[in-house]
Amino acid sequence: MAATASHVSYAVGALPLETQLFIGGKYVDTKSGIKFDTIDPATEEVIATMHGAGKEDIDDAVAAATSAFEITKRMSGSERRNCLLKLADLIEKHRAQIAEIESRDNGKPRHIADTVDIMYVIECFRYYAGWADKVGGKVLMPTHNSHSTFAYTTHEPVGVCGQIIPWNFPLLMAAWKLGPALAMGCTTVLKLSEKTPLSMLMLGHLFNEAGFPAGTVNIVNGYGNPTGDLIARHPGIRKVAFTGSSFVGHKIVTASAETNLKKVSLELGGKSALIVCKDADLDEAATAAHVGLFLNMGQCCVASSRIFVDEEIAEAFTAKVVALAKTLRQGASEGHGDGAIDLSLPTAVPICDLGPQVDKIQFDKILGFIEVGKAEGATCVLGGSRVGTKGYFVAPTIFTGVTDTMTICKEEIFGPVMQVLTFKDNNEAIRRANSSVYGLAAGICTRDVGNALAMAKELEAGSIWINCYNNFDMACPFGGYKESGWGRDKGEYALENYTEVKCVMIPIAIQK
């Protein structure tokens, strides 16, 4: 372990900050010699120097996962359930510390990391613990020779899986992929983002303590090239799950096609629409838009960044979302860095408190989009600049006068930048909402239930929120249409990503 910043030391009994690779149940140095720094986005200071994985490291991780799979595929559902429940309990035990390091590495305020991210991580593992001993097959009645054939199916673990995790919700996105994989008996090589590797890497200790066989979960760090590409192309990996950009999603599909046709599930980009009808409760609609856009500093794949508002209520709605955005508390996470969040300030939606963007690359990209929006004729009614001189803070920004052809309306900004558009009737709003290449999520605000359900049927998106936004439950599947991905995370549907279906048939006859 080689942490390089003094503020990451912890008390006796706490989890150590790990910077190595976690392979075969042990923390090991990189064989490739790859090293990189992870940065605190609130202070722009180095937190730690990390070990990155190259070809030898990935080969070792796949070998460890392959060996562990010989054990996990024979474990009973109740054994897998018990390991997942123990893991959830251990995360809860270390919750405060894990939330702190998640905050420092990612930038989100610590109280949000705790009450949103870590809470849902715990819930995720407990949810899939409940599935571990309940997944079975079916007894079939073949349509031909039905009296002389007995047939049944089994759902078996797919094997060694590669799981590539984004930086915006490092622990939660890892849990969404690990939960169903471990419930089904798979083993994994989990690649963390080079931007946010610390929190998940610490959990290697907890996988061991929870009783998972060594090598069940292997955790590696590194950039997309070479680490991610090595996972996508490795012949020993039978399935890859990825959350990230559509651009990289295309590359993963290509890698699968060019190698061993490994199964692929993808949760990709979005440019989600929120439609505010003229009969909507404006306070409710403004809150939905606020949560939908400003959650996690706008770094959310389902962000409601295209807000279509009936032209009759656009002025009143805009006034409300601007007023809400002005209540946002912005600064570094409590107790770390300069400009700490003042928890005494009022805010309508505490989960939208804004920390810094994850790194300078993202920071510069967002500010660039803001300038393009101004140049293309949109009206910036709030924000539009950085905050302070230290840390990657962007002011909550709202544009009006946005049209469908503007860059900020077409591209995924992934920052606290809201675009307000107007429409004349609901059919127009649906048509324009569906015009995007993405289809991850959408929202509708209306007091007419029949209208809401009819519009939900027409919208091309995997999640539809009505009179709310960013409501999540582990039982509800999550994924997208079109270039927003393949397959679903969460819920029972996610188990399909990690299973092979086997059909067994045997002739039967009564002996004479």
Residue 8 predicted with pLDDT over 60:
no
Q: Provide the pLDDT confidence category of residue 146 given band limits of 50, 70 and 90.
A: low
Q: What is the CA radius of gyration of the chain?
A: 24
The pairing of beta strand 417-423 with beta strand 397-400: parallel
Structure tokens, 400: 């009006």
The widest CA-to-CA distance across the chain, in whole angstroms, is 90
- In this prediction, residues 159-163 reach a mean pLDDT of 98
Same domain, 386 and 420: yes
Question: Can you give the pLDDT at residue 321?
Answer: 97
Same domain, 226 and 140: yes
Q: Coil, strand or helix: which one is 438? A: strand
- Name the burial class of residue 424, with classes exposed (0-12), middle (13-18) and buried (19+) by CB atoms within 10 angstroms of its CB: exposed
Question: Can you give the pLDDT at residue 11?
Answer: 55
Q: Is 261 a member of any domain?
A: yes
Same domain, 247 and 371: no
- In this prediction, residues 96-106 reach a mean pLDDT of 95
- Name the burial class of residue 346, with classes exposed (0-12), middle (13-18) and buried (19+) by CB atoms within 10 angstroms of its CB: exposed
Same domain, 374 and 454: yes
Closest CA to 61 of 37, 26, 33: 26
Q: Is 139 a member of any domain?
A: yes
Q: pLDDT for 257-270, tens place per residue?
A: 999 999 999 999 99
Give the active site residue among 18, 100, 102, 267. 267
Same domain, 417 and 352: yes
Decide if 1 contacts 17 (C-beta within 8 A).
yes
Q: Is 163 a member of any domain?
A: yes
Same domain, 260 and 409: no
Full DSSP string of 100-162: HHHHHHH-S-HHHIIIIIIHHHHHHHHHHHHHHTT----EE--SSSTTTEEEEEEEEE--EEE
Q: Is 448 a member of any domain?
A: yes
Residue 5 predicted with pLDDT over 80:
no
Task: Report how far residue 442's alpha carbon sits from residue 463's, in angstroms, rounded to the nearest whole number.
Answer: 6
> What's the mean per-residue pLDDT of the chain?
93
Question: Can you give the pLDDT at residue 145?
Answer: 64
Q: pLDDT for 181-226, tens place per residue?
A: 999 999 999 999 999 999 999 999 999 999 999 999 999 999 999 9
Q: Provide the pLDDT confidence category of residue 390 given band limits of 50, 70 and 90.
A: very high
Instruction: Identify the CATH number of the domain in which residue 235 sits.
Output: 3.40.605.10
Contacts for 228 with CB less than 8 Å, ≥ 6 apart: 164, 191, 222, 248
Question: Can you give the pLDDT at residue 509?
Answer: 78
Q: pLDDT for 427-478, tens place per residue?
A: 999 999 999 999 999 999 999 999 999 999 999 999 999 999 999 999 999 9
Same domain, 215 and 351: no
Decide if 330 contacts 354 (C-beta within 8 A).
yes
Residue 45 predicted with pLDDT over 60:
yes
Q: pLDDT for 269-278, tens place per residue?
A: 999 999 999 9
- 18 is annotated as an active-site residue: no
Contacts for 512 with CB less than 8 Å, ≥ 6 apart: none
Q: pLDDT for 320-336, tens place per residue?
A: 999 999 999 886 544 44
Same domain, 219 and 155: yes
What total number of domains does the chain contain? Answer: 2
Same domain, 385 and 419: yes
Q: Is 481 a member of any domain?
A: no
Buried b (16+ CB within 10 A) or exposed e, 169-194: bbbbbbbbbbbbbbbbbbbbbbbbbb
Task: Report how far residue 5's alpha carbon sits from residue 23's, in angstroms, rounded to the nearest whole number.
Answer: 25
Question: Can you give the pLDDT at residue 1?
Answer: 38
Q: Provide the pLDDT confidence category of residue 349 given band limits of 50, 70 and 90.
A: low
Closest CA to 192 of 234, 239, 231, 135: 231
474: number of Cβ within 10 Å: 21
Task: Report how far residue 61's alpha carbon sits from residue 125's, in angstroms, rounded to the nearest whole number.
Answer: 23
Q: Is 130 a member of any domain?
A: yes
Task: Report how far residue 237's alpha carbon sits from residue 240's, in angstroms, rounded to the nearest whole number.
Answer: 7
Q: Is 384 a member of any domain?
A: yes
Same domain, 341 and 450: yes
Residue 6 predicted with pLDDT over 60:
no
Same domain, 281 and 180: no
Contacts for 281 with CB less than 8 Å, ≥ 6 apart: 445, 447, 467
Question: Can you give the pLDDT at residue 483?
Answer: 96
Q: Provide the pLDDT confidence category of residue 4 given band limits of 50, 70 and 90.
A: very low
Question: Can you give the pLDDT at residue 142?
Answer: 75
Instruction: Identify the CATH number of the domain in which residue 315 sits.
Output: 3.40.309.10
Same domain, 470 and 327: yes
Q: Is 239 a member of any domain?
A: yes
Task: Report how far residue 455's alpha carbon sits from residue 468's, in angstroms, rounded to the nearest whole number.
Answer: 15
Domain membership of residue 165 as a residue range:
6-268+488-500
Q: Provide the pLDDT confidence category of residue 343 given band limits of 50, 70 and 90.
A: very low
